[in-house]
Amino acid sequence: MRLLLSLILPWATFFTIGRPIAGIVCLILQITLIGWIPAAIWAVFALSQYTTDQKIKKALAGIPAP
C-alpha cells in the first residue's frame, strides 16, 4: 500500500514512515511537474530503506543477549 502511495503522492510516504521534514522537501519538489519523477524515486528508495531497517530491528530483537 505504501508503495502505491509513494508513486502517487510521494510526499505522503515520508509522513507515514516518520520523516516529516523530508516530506515537506519532497512536496516542494513534487510541486513542479518535472520534479514529480525524482520525488517518486526518492520516496520509493526511502520506503525501501525503512522496510529494511524494520526487518533488521525485528531480527535483532529476537537475538538473546550474551
For the chain, the DSSP string reads: -HHHHHHH-HHHHHHHTT-HHHHHHHHHHHHSTTTHHHHHHHHHHHHHHHHHHHHHHHHHHTSPP-
Q: 5-23: per-residue pLDDT in tens? A: 888 888 899 999 899 999 9
Instruction: Establish if 59 belongs to a structural domain.
Output: no
Please give the Cα distance from 53 to 46 (Å, whole number). Answer: 10
Residue 18, domain member (yes or no)? yes
Note whether residue 64 is domain-resident: no
pTM, rounded to two decimals: 0.79
User: How many structural domains does the chain have?
Assistant: 1
Q: Would you state the pLDDT for residue 48? A: 92
C-alpha cell at 48: 525501501
pLDDT in tens for each of the 66 residues of the chain?
A: 888 888 888 889 999 989 999 999 989 988 887 888 899 898 999 999 999 999 888 888 877 766
Among candidates 13, 24, 12, 17, which has minimal Cα distance to 52?
17
